A = this chain, B = another copy of it.
Amino acid sequence: MKACIVTIGDEILIGQIIDSNSVWLSQQLTNLGIDVVRMMSISDDDPAISSALDECLAISDIVLLTGGLGPTKDDITKKSLAQYFKRNMVFDQELFDKICAYFNKLGIPVTELHRQQCYMPSDIVTLKNNMGTAPGMLFKEGSQWIVSMPGVPYEMKHIFSEALLPELKENIPSLDSIYYRTIRTAGVGETRLVELISDIIDELPRQISLAYLPSLGHVKLRLTTKEANAYSNQLDGFVDRISERLGIKVYGYDNIILEEALKRDFEKTGLSLATAESCTGGFLAHRITSISGSSSYFLGSIVSYSNDMKKNLLGVKAQTLKVHGAVSEETVLEMLDGVLKATGAAIGVSVSGIAGPGGGSVEKPVGTIWLAWGNKEKKKTRKLQLSKDRLKNIEYTSVAAMNSLRLFLTEL
């Protein structure tokens, strides 16, 4: 089964916004075992929409369109689709009642524009939108499905998950036969990972496929079968065997991210955490606190960007900074001691480095970063030698720090 994703709207074509909707949709479809054969962004005019439909319907079974729905002047998608599929526009009383109720509750008067919005193409499946006023639309043309959803990301995601997905699963039995699991690892490269499990992979039957999905500091392994009934148990068995082989390199399964795994592991121990950051400049604390509820274990961070802050708030010795420099094993160890003392956290991590692109030297080139982590009794350190790309260095270092903490907990 093949799909195309079409985004309608000029903001993407002029580079003003990133098309995150298509990224999300392609992940969802891929996970369902549907091959995305094309993604495209087009402008919100009739000829562009109509040629996009021509082209996409020639190569796919499902076309998902986002954008161009809503009570504004650029609400052209609905009319274009009605015209393209030769449907009349009919007034949807139920939708109008819902919109009236919604606006009455907010004390906002219902206007003619809202009324206009309730004319919908005939013979479609209306996909309910509980997050906004414009519903999604599903056109069934023979065996092909064309779906139009609003461009507002949370509305689109809601309609996809709550209205479209049940409809898809009911009508396309093969989707139910897709089964996949994701094994998430951190701190090990793709090449090494392949070496570690190659003998297990060789045993995979052709009905189970494996994909390596690497990103900065992480590799995900995804096992998929399109014959769930016959192979899901066997697939689970492979997940177990691979996990056993990889041991603590695996931080979780399926949708969990490293920040969530860290929270889970800390909550299990009941221990608290604080960070002392120089070159990451607060990004590590941001990653940790991007998860709602992280206050259950995270106390905070001392972002000691200046040497004075390292000395005054973390107790790093002037002598250490003078002799070894701010980017050194000695300094991160004193930063770690300092943050444990200042915050009372059970466990800490400290970072100091040259994120770049400026500030390097021959002995300490850009990308030299020191990490220390541990508790009062036991401390570990690590030196990273990264690139000249400031933001990538900051991001990679944060992943390395979180992973080091996660591994430290397993040793307690």
Binding site for B on A (CB under 8 A): 12-20, 23-28, 30, 35-43, 48, 51, 55, 59, 154, 211, 213, 215, 274-275, 277, 280-286, 288-290, 292-295, 298-306, 308-309, 312-313, 342-344, 355-359, 389-391, 394
Contact = CB atoms under 8 A, between A and B. Distances in A.
A273 to B, nearest CB: 10
Contact of A15 (B27, B35, B48, B59): B27
A305 B299 contact: yes
Contact of A282 (B283, B299, B342): B283
Contact of A286 (B281, B300, B359): B281
Give the number of copies in the complex: 2
Contacts of A358: 292-293
A27 B13 CA distance: 8
Contacts of A294: 281, 305
Among A38, A293, A342, the one with the most B-chain Cβ atoms within 10 Å of its Cβ is A38
A300 B292 contact: no
Contacts of A19: 19, 39
A357 B281 CA distance: 25
A13 B344 CA distance: 47
A286 B289 contact: no
Contacts of A359: 292
Given A14-B27, A304-B300, A40 B41 contact: yes
24 contacts: A13-B36, A14-B30, A15-B23, A15-B26, A15-B30, A18-B20, A38-B42, A39-B40, A281-B282, A281-B286, A281-B289, A282-B282, A282-B286, A286-B394, A290-B391, A292-B356, A292-B359, A299-B305, A300-B302, A300-B305, A300-B309, A301-B301, A303-B303, A312-B344
Contacts of A303: 275, 282, 285, 289, 300-303
B299 A343 contact: no
Contacts of A308: 299, 343-344
Given A43-B37, A48-B37, A300 B289 contact: no
